[in-house]
Amino acid sequence: MLRPGRLSAALAAICTVVLTATLLAGSAAAGEPRSADIPQATSKAAKTPTTKAAGNKVVGYFTEWGIYQRNYHVKNVETSGSAAKLTHINYAFGNVTGGKCAIGDSYADYDKAYDAASSVDGQADTWDAGALRGNFNQLRKLKKLHPGLKVLWSFGGWTWSSGFTEAAKNPAAFAQSCYDLVEDPRWADVFDGIDIDWEYPNACGLSCDTSGKDAFKNLMSAVRAKFGSSNLVTAAITADASSGGKIEAADYAGAASYVDWYNPMTYDFFGAWAAQGPTAPHSPLNSYNGIPQQGFNTDAAIQKLKGLGIPASKLLLGIGFYGRGWSGVTQDAPGGTATGAAPGTYEAGIEDYKVLKGSCPATGTVAGTAYAHCGNQWWSYDTPATIAGKMNYKQQQGLGGTFFWELSGDTTNGELIKSIS
C-alpha cells in the first residue's frame, strides 16, 4: 500500500450507479487532440479563447515519502529543470489527527541529514543544535535559488483525510493548530501557506464523512481567518461531476471566497479497482462514446464548478504524471475486458510516466488523453502531446493554471512539466 497519498476520486465511487447517457467525442490522432476532443464550452467567455484570461500557475506536488523507495529528493526538482518551471510546490502530506494538523514524517520533514552531494546547494547539513535538516531545509535552499518559488504545506490526502471529521467539529481549533505548525519558527520561512486535501467532505473516500454540507466551508473559513491575507490558502477537491456526486456533497461555492484557488483532482476517474474493466482512461479531458460513468471527466468537473459560480481563475487544471492500467486485455481500444491490475513498480495498477513511456508506449488517444496496449496490458496516461491539448483547453476556459501529481513521476529531464510550461 502506498504511503499517504492522493489515490482515487473514483475509488470511493465505484459503487455509484452508472448512468446510461453518453456524449460523442472523437478520438484524437497521434499528436494533438482533434477539435472534437476539446469540448465546446457553454459560457460566452469560454467560447472566446483568450490567453490573457488564463493564469500561469504551475503547481507540483512533492511527496515526503518519495525520498525512500523512489529515491526522489528536492535536489531532483532542481536537476530535472522542474524548479525553474514551477510557481508553487505543494509538500505532501501533513497528517490530520485528533482534530489538529500534525507532522507526517518527522525524519523526512526536518531530521534527515543530506551530504554535500545530495544537497540542493552542494552544502552538507550540520548537526548543530537547532539546525534544520530534511526536506524542509532542502526546500529552503531551493527557494533561495528560485526566489519567486512558493511552497505550501498540504494536509490530509487519501490516507489521512479521516482526521477532518474531528477537525470539522471545531474549525477554529483546527486552524490554530495548523497555523502553529506551519509557522513554527524552525521552518516558518519555508512555507508560504497551506493546502487542504480533504478526501472527501460529507462523502466517502478511504472512510466516510457525515459532517454535513457546510463543514468544508466552515473549515476553510476558519483556516483563512487564521492564516490571513498574507498567506496562500488552497484546497484539492473532488472532480466527481456525476449527478448526485461528490461536488454536490459540499458547499465548494461557498468556500471559494476563502481560497486562493482550488485543485480539482481531474484524474483517477477510472482504474483497475474495477478489476474486470472496462478499460478506460483515468484522466479524460471530456466524455466519449462508451465512457463508463457520465460526469467522470475533466470538462464535466470544470463546467460544474464554474456553473456554481466559482471563478475560472480559481480553478487549476489537474494532470497526472502517471498511468493506470489493467492486465489480461486483448482489445486495443478503450472498453475492453480485463482480468486484473497490471503490474506496477510500487503498486499494481499504477506506474510512473517515466517508466511507461519506454515500457508501454502510447498506441492511441481518446478524449484528449493517451492509451497504450502492449502485450496483455492496457494503460492510460498523459504524454507531452496530450498535455499540450489540455493546455489549450486551460487557455480556452480561462483557468488559473495547472497542477500535477506528482514530481517524481516525470522523466529526469522534466519532459512533462516542460509541456505544461
- The residues annotated with a catalytic role in the active site are 199
Residue type, 143: K
Residue 194 near residue 93, CB atoms below 8 Å = no
The C-alpha atoms of residue 334 and residue 342 are separated, in whole angstroms, by 15
Residue type, 299: D
User: Cell 499504477 appears where?
Assistant: 350
Residue 38 near residue 285, CB atoms below 8 Å = yes
Residue type, 252: Y
The C-alpha atoms of residue 224 and residue 230 are separated, in whole angstroms, by 10
The C-alpha atoms of residue 341 and residue 295 are separated, in whole angstroms, by 24
For the chain, what is the HEC assignment?
CCCCCCCCCCHHHCCCCCCCCCCCCCCCCCCCCCHHHCCCCCCHHHHCCCCCCCCCEEEEEEEHHHHCCCCCCHHHHHHCCHHHHCCEEEEEEEEEECCEEECCCHHHHHHCCCCHHHCCCCCCCCCCCCCCCHHHHHHHHHHHHCCCCEEEEEEEHHHHHHHHHHHCCCHHHHHHHHHHHHCCCCCCCCCCEEEEECCCCCCECCCECCCCCCHHHHHHHHHHHHHCCCCEEEEEECCCCCCCCHHHHCCHHHHHHHCCEEEECCCCCCCCCCCCCCCCCCCCCCCCCCCCCCCCCHHHHHHHHHHCCCCHHHEEEEEECEEEEEECCCCCCCCCCCCEECCCCCECCEEEHHHHHHHCCCCEEECCEEEEEECCEEEEECCHHHHHHHHHHHHHHCCCEEEEECHHHCCCCCHHHHHHC
Q: Is the dihedral of CA 213, 218, 219, 220 positive or negative?
A: positive
Taking CA 60 as the corner, what is the angle to CA 58 and CA 62, rounded to the nearest 5 degrees? 160
